Structure 1
Amino acid sequence: MRFADIVIPDTPAARGALEVATAYCSPALLNHSVRAYLFAAAYGAMNGVAFDDELLYVASMMHDFGLVKEFDSHTVPFEEAGGHVAWVFAAGAGWPVERRVRASEIVVHHMWEKVDPEEDPEGYLLELSTALDISGRRPEDFPAELRAEVLRRYPRLGIGPEFTACFVDQATRKPDSLAGRFVRAGAAERIAANPLDR
């Protein structure tokens, strides 16, 4: 699998999602979102996981919007807040209700520890790719040349410390959230040890 083999959707919704992410995300968070899609799409293609590339791309661009100050919620976990943003964006893109719901579900599911690829292939791929990009889980599942090219095109720009600070903030304000549970389980240490940062 080479970088050139990854299909990046060129639709109004995909272009709009990138535009919105560029406007609201920090440079590090934006690059993380792009890498999340690239790693997810590559894994799906390499392992025969059929997925909707536009749906996965939009969800990838939106999956951390609940960490962005303009969309941060003090009442629900960040992944749920991001899911609501994805639903609203999809409505503005003219997607039918069922597709809006799917976009929201994918964003929420990316924080789950396990997602069934049969029931939610896009959520499965996004959970896998974000775990790789943030905490360095299973880098061996991706060719070294592909990892290097993705990182060259979309550098990490200090995403580890930035993301850790966001997670600790979420855990402090919402201790019962998944972010709170992950912080208590040593997420900061795993993020700091991510092999992608070496």
Structure 2
Amino acid sequence: MPNQVTRSVLSFVPDALTASQVGTWETESLTDRTVSDATTAALFGLDPVRAAGGLPLAAYSRVIHPDDRAAFFGKLNRVRDHGGLFVIEYRTLPGPSDLRWVLARGRYERDERTGGMTGRGIVIDITESKHDGRVEDRAFFFVEDDTEMPLDRAAACAIQARQAIDEFAGPERLGLRRSVDTLLLALGRALACRIGPLEL
């Protein structure tokens, strides 16, 4: 079941998802703290201010569709334990009668200073593609090989560019963010097509 969210958060969700289909996240396994932007928060029905300050993974996982949750954790835990790249598709329930399809791409690496795993990546709202029939209407889960290919490096650079733009306070920020979001969306779809989903 979706988590209990306030009316103010629910009213925020459509605006955030209309503004951008691509969100970013960063997590630390030792502290169980995941920081995300407003778009990611909206996909999970979370308060954007609290999400920006860092929330436990449970705050996000509780809104993953019940049918997708076990497979999500099975794949994610493997990458969190050993590190590497991953691409996962799943559904979220950010609010009553609201179903979202999410394509997540990220990389986990061991922090040499703390010994824990840190991860960062993007989530892409692919709900419209599902509704348009461009993607088959069921959830798939897949994990990438740890060999970093040119497309993987491009995605990593685009994520870093997006994070830097979010810190930029100039008047060009909105236009730059839209441009990098378009690139991230294209890269996410290209990664998904390259790997090909594996049905569980």
What TM-score do the two structures reach when normalised by structure 1?
0.26
Q: Which structure shows the higher helix fraction?
A: 1
Q: Which structure shows the higher strand fraction?
A: 2
What TM-score do the two structures reach when normalised by structure 2?
0.26
